[in-house]
Structure 1
Amino acid sequence: MKTVLKIIGIIVLLIVAYAIVAMLAFGKIYHYEKSMVINAPKEKVWQQISSMKAFNQWNPWMKLDKNMKITYTGNSGEVGDKYCWDSKNDDAGAGCQEIKELVLNEKQKTEMIFTRPFAGQATSEIVLTSEGNSTKVTWTMDTEQETWMKIMRPMMDYQMGKSYEEGLSNLKTLVEK
């Protein structure tokens, strides 16, 4: 019995130590990025990132709830192009994403406002770079994290990696048809 209590004590101590180190070591800004090379010119890839409707054709989070309510506002393919989602599923939650900057065949920058399950704000960029006849697509996200959320950073990296990989693979499949 003493051995079991010692093991439990050590585990609790390690968890507390990790939490303290994570809160002190990780910065307030969370940055994630993933890149993939797509066998198509930038102009063809651009067609799939330059509007919110096009983005949602390969957006990995759209599959979280097939009954998700989506509303689009603004002019498609222009700054101010926006969609809002509302799902009963907390994995998808609710919020809005709006295009804040477009540089033709180069970059799309958006702002995301999350309202459920947690309130938050983030920015995202999709940057296109020519690589011969192909295009390197770099997708980023930046957000400010509360101190307690820093503890979750390794799990966030894992989840973001899976989602971004899926989204970029969806984009690649769509563009390379």
Structure 2
Amino acid sequence: MKTFFKILVAIIILAALYVLIAMFAFDKKYHFEQSVVINAPKEKVWQNVGSLKAYNVWDPFSKADKDIVITYSGAGDKVGDSYHWKGNDEVGEGEQSITELVPNEKMITKLHFIKPFEGDAVATFVLTPEGSGTKVTWALDNELNTMMKIMKPMMDMNMKKMFDQGLGDLKKVAEK
């Protein structure tokens, strides 16, 4: 029984140390990015990336709730166009709007999360030629509050899973 309590105390001390290190050592700026090479010209890939409506066809976050409600403002392919989503607890509620667009090359959007947590982020999609295909780099940048700093390793794992799924689905759609 003494050994069990020693192990339990050690685990609690390690967890407390991790929380302190995360709070003070982890940067509040968060950047995550993933890339995929798609066997298609960038003009074809752009048809699936350069529009919010096309993005929602392969976007893994939207797919997490089959009953998600998405309301568009604009055609979804011009600076200022946006959409509002409202879904289950996993998907939450928020808005995404296009802030910069360079056709066949880059789209930058601002994300405003409403639920379950209030926050803002920037998503970037960059298309570059790679051999006979197109490299798509998808990035997300935001600032982490103290609680989110503690959860950063879990966020990284979740983002990797979602970006892998999304870029994989984009590759399937764009290579048809």
TM-score range, shorter chain: over 0.9
TM norm structure 2: 0.97
Q: Which piece of structure 1 moves more, 91-100 or 70-79?
A: 70-79
Residue 74 of structure 2 corresponds to 74
Residue 100 of structure 1 corresponds to 99
Residues 61-118 of structure 1 deviation map (CA, whole Å, 9 limit, x = unaligned):
111111111100023310012111111x110000011111001111000000000011
Residues 120-163 of structure 1 deviation map (CA, whole Å, 9 limit, x = unaligned):
10001000010121000000000011022111111000000000
Residue 141 of structure 2 corresponds to 142
**Residue type of the alignment partner of 1:20:** L
SS at 1:56 equivalent: helix
Q: How does 1:49-88 map to 2 (within 5 A)?
A: 49-87=49-87
Residue 174 of structure 2 corresponds to 175
Residue 119 of structure 1 corresponds to 118
Q: Could you tell me whether the CA contact under 8 Å between 1:40 and 1:135 is conserved in 2?
A: yes
Give unpaired runs (5+ residues) of structure 1. Answer: none
Aligned length: 176
Q: Which piece of structure 1 moves more, 116-125 or 71-80?
A: 71-80
CA distance in 2, matches of 1:50, 1:155: 29
Residue 163 of structure 2 corresponds to 164
Percent identity (aligned) = 53
RMSD: 0.8
Q: Could you tell me whether the CA contact under 8 Å between 1:51 and 1:81 is conserved in 2?
A: no
Give unpaired runs (5+ residues) of structure 2. Answer: none
Q: Could you tell me whether the CA contact under 8 Å between 1:52 and 1:82 is conserved in 2?
A: yes
**Residue type of the alignment partner of 1:90:** D
1:26 offset after TM fit, Å?
Answer: 1.1
| Ranges of 4+ aligned residues in structure 1 off by more than 3 Å | none
Q: How does 1:37-52 map to 2 (within 5 A)?
A: 37-52=37-52
CA distance in 2, matches of 1:113, 1:125: 14
Residue 27 of structure 1 corresponds to 27
CA distance in 2, matches of 1:31, 1:150: 12
SS at 1:115 equivalent: strand
CA distance in 1, matches of 2:79, 2:86: 22
CA distance in 2, matches of 1:85, 1:12: 39
Q: Could you tell me whether the CA contact under 8 Å between 1:112 and 1:123 is conserved in 2?
A: yes
1:3 offset after TM fit, Å?
Answer: 1.2
